[in-house]
Structure formats: C-alpha cells, structure tokens
Structure 1
Amino acid sequence: MTTINSLKMTTGSTTQNQQKSQVDKDLFLKILTTQLRNQDPTQPMEDREFIAQLAQFSTLEQISNMNQAFNQFLVTQQGDISQYSMMINKEVSWINDEKGGQETGVIKGIVRKENQFYYQINDLEIPVENITSAKQFES
C-alpha cells in the first residue's frame, strides 16, 4: 500500500501554493482511489487506516487554506506599509485643526493604530490623510 505521508506542502508565491495544493489534493485522491480499487477483497483496508487517511486529507486541506489566508494577509500588510514607507524622510505639510494653521515637518516613521496609519513627525502622530503636500527633505 502507498502511504500518504509523502505529500508535503511547499512554500512560494500564492499562485504556486494554490497550484501545488491542488496537485497535492488530486494526488491524494488518486492514491486513495487506487488503493481502494486495487485492494485485496479478502483483506480489505481496515477502517482505522481509511479513517486515518481521510484525516490526513482533511488536515492537508485545512493547512492549505490557512496558508493561503496567511499569504493574503501578508500581501495586504506589506502593501499598506510599503505604500506609506516611501514617505519617510520627506518634508510634509498638514493642517493642524487644534492650532488652526498649517504645519510642516519631516516624516521619521509610520505607526498603525486601529487599522489606521499615522506618520511620525517630530513628537506628533499625524493621520496619513491629513497630509496636504510633500517634498524631498533637504537638510
């Protein structure tokens, strides 16, 4: 009998993972159906073996789904941060509602709080949407 333990997930891009996952699932099902088709009728596969292989398939499916969801999460997170990180060391202007005027400063970092991004400017955290202009900082 062929064992299913040889099936492994690989890492890589999301598309490659999806294709590999589909190949692993298809391969598993082919192996399982081949085992069932070619088993000796006088010595059928034991229930425990069959259940164990179904559990392995279920585990493979769940791991594949988790991996896909995690990769999508990483792409989203990296996309957001990289979008705003290009502004580090730029001189920006924004309207300060508390002081009632325009202020300028140099972005030194990025902070994410409650799904909103803020630029760290001097000792302040300014929401990214409050920035009205930006230019290359010249020291």
Structure 2
Amino acid sequence: MMRVWILPLLLMFCGSTVAIGLVRSGNPAMAVALLAVFLPLAVVNSPLIFPGSVGAEEAQRRSAVDGRPVVFWRPGCKYCIRLRIGLGRGARRLHWVDIWRDPAAAAAVRAANDGNETVPTVVVAGRPYTNPDVEWVRGQLS
C-alpha cells in the first residue's frame, strides 16, 4: 500500500523543500507558484484520484456479472490519469485494477501486450485494448 504513495509524497517533499529555500532567499511569490504546481501533481499521482482498486480476479468476476469494462492501471501513468480525468464521474462505473498491487494483474497486462506492462489496458468482454481513446471507453459504459 505504501508503494502507491511514494510518488505523491516525493513530489510534496521536493516541492516543499524547494519552496522553503525560495522563501528563505526572499522569493515567496515563486515559492507559492512552485507549490501551486507540485500540489496538483501530487494529488493527480496519488490514489485519491482513482477509484478503489480490486484484484484482477475480483474485477474479472464482477465484469462477468455486470458487463462493465476492467481497467488495468498504475499510479503515475500519465495515460491512466488522462483516461481517469477524461471519464469524469463515469470512471466509478469501471473496475480499476492497480498492477503494482496485484501481481496477477501485472501478468495479465503482460500477456495482453507482448510482455510489456503497458497501461491503461482496458478489457471489454474478455478482449484487451491498450491505451484506448477516452470517448471509446465512455461508449463502452452505455
């Protein structure tokens, strides 16, 4: 669980450290501007922006029952963030699986992508789609 928080905490630590240095050197405006960049970066890369992840097996079981797509993702992936933000509230209707938390999920993604852990990989009706367009995924929800 701690692994998913490493990047956001590192972003906040680095941004705060540099901002403190800027304040001490007499440049508080630049410190505020820097924090205005690092804080959103930390939030976007945190688990807060993504719905709660489930295991690969559980997601596939749920998908078989309700027909909703399964999204394999990992924290810090800009394409996963783009998909999540692009889907808006609709993202909560998908089954999200963090490949860093579930080795079986990482193996499933590698199997679908010629040995690469390329995310987001969206599975619809048992067929994987690597880095699909946001509009296409939204269309799968209706």
TM-score range, shorter chain: 0.3 to 0.5
Please state which structure has a larger fraction of its residues in strand: 1
Higher-Rg member (1/2): 1
The TM-score with structure 1 as length reference comes to: 0.37
The TM-score with structure 2 as length reference comes to: 0.37
Please state which structure has a larger fraction of its residues in helix: 2
